[in-house]
Amino acid sequence: MGPLPDFRNCTSLTRVRLDNNLFVGNISDSFGVHPHLYFFDMSFNRLYGELSPNWGECKNLLVLKISRNIISGKIAPEIGHLTRLGQLDLSSNKLAGEIPKKLGNLSTLLRLNLSGNQITGHVPVEIGKLINLESLDLSANRLIGSIPAQLGQCSKLLSVNLSRNSLNGSIPTHIGDLVYLQARLDLSHNSISGLIPPQLGRLIMLEILNLSHNMITGSIPLSLTEMVSLTSLDFSYNKLEGVVPNNRAFRNAASPQAFRNNKRLCGELQGLIPCHRSYTSKG
């Protein structure tokens, strides 16, 4: 609690953990170059200012977490020089500008969280170079353009959250290559169109699938019945039509609201119109 100390002359600093306090200060003026620093967590404070290029000189950083503050400006491209970094969490700030392409140099990165900011531009194709990435969260920003097919190269991903942006285009078939996805695939609240790729059925470990609040068309592929680990799915608020599969995975994971506000879905699950009644009505 209180003003943030001045660490600029602490060149031998190795570890900083001051998260969950009420420190107030300008992060631009409080830190310099710390060549021995390997752990830094100042999350849940009241820090403002911008990220200095000096962070790129902290070559030994393994963890950099500054979430839940009031930091503005752009993400310093120099952070892409931190080739030993395993966690980067800048979520819930006021960061703007684009995601630097140089973040693709962070080949050891396991977790990347930039959610809850005001980041614009496209998801860079360089994201595919993060071959060790396990968790990606870019939700609640202002990202545009399509989801890069290169995301399918991040073969170790366990969780992907791109929700609440302005992404468009179709879902890349390469998402089906992320066969270790387990926790979440959330593409909801975007402007994604096109068909659901049948290749998503390969995600047999996935527990949460949310494609709601988009403009997805066509039918739900039968291959999705292979997703036997699903505990929650949501296809609501799209333009889907046709028969909803009635298998154990869908029965266990789908609530009555999971299919509402679509073009013309039918089936035997709760909340759906029986298919014979739907087609008879159309005739």
Domain ranges of the chain: 2-282
Per-residue pLDDT of 183-217, as tens digits, reads 999 999 999 999 999 999 999 999 999 999 999 99
| Structure-token pair, residue 184 | 């979440």
Nearest one of 60, 22, 24 to 40, comparing CA atoms: 60
Report the alpha-carbon distance of residue 141 to residue 139 in Å, rounded.
6
**pLDDT tens column, 25-80:** 999 988 888 999 999 999 999 999 999 999 999 999 999 999 999 999 999 999 99
Whole-prediction pTM: 0.94
Strands 232-234 and 46-48: unpaired
Q: Is the pLDDT of residue 281 over 70?
A: no
pLDDT at 279 over 80: no
What is the arithmetic mean of pLDDT over 104-111?
A: 96
DSSP character string of 235-268: --SSEEEEEPP-SHHHHHHB-GGGG-SSSEEE-S
Could you tell me if 226 and 203 are in contact, meaning their C-beta atoms sit under 8 angstroms apart?
Answer: no
Sheet containing 39-41, strands listed edge to edge, beginning at the edge strand earlier in sequence:
15-17, 39-41, 63-65, 87-89, 111-113, 135-137, 159-161, 184-186, 208-210, 232-234
Mark out the alpha helices in the chain (DSSP H runs). Answer: 27-30, 248-253, 275-282
When pLDDT is cut at 50, 70 and 90, the band that residue 277 belongs to is low
Q: What confidence tier does 227 reach under pLDDT thresholds 50, 70, 90? A: very high
Q: Where is average pLDDT lowest: 21-30, 107-116, 130-139?
A: 21-30
CATH fold for the domain made of 2-282:
3.80.10
Contacts (Cβ under 8 Å, ≥6 apart) of 47: 4, 23, 24, 25, 26, 27, 66, 69, 70, 71
Torsion (CA) 201, 207, 208, 209 in degrees, nearest 10: 0
**With the CA atoms of 70, 84, 104 and 20 taken in that order, what torsion angle do they form, in degrees rounded to the nearest 10?**
-20
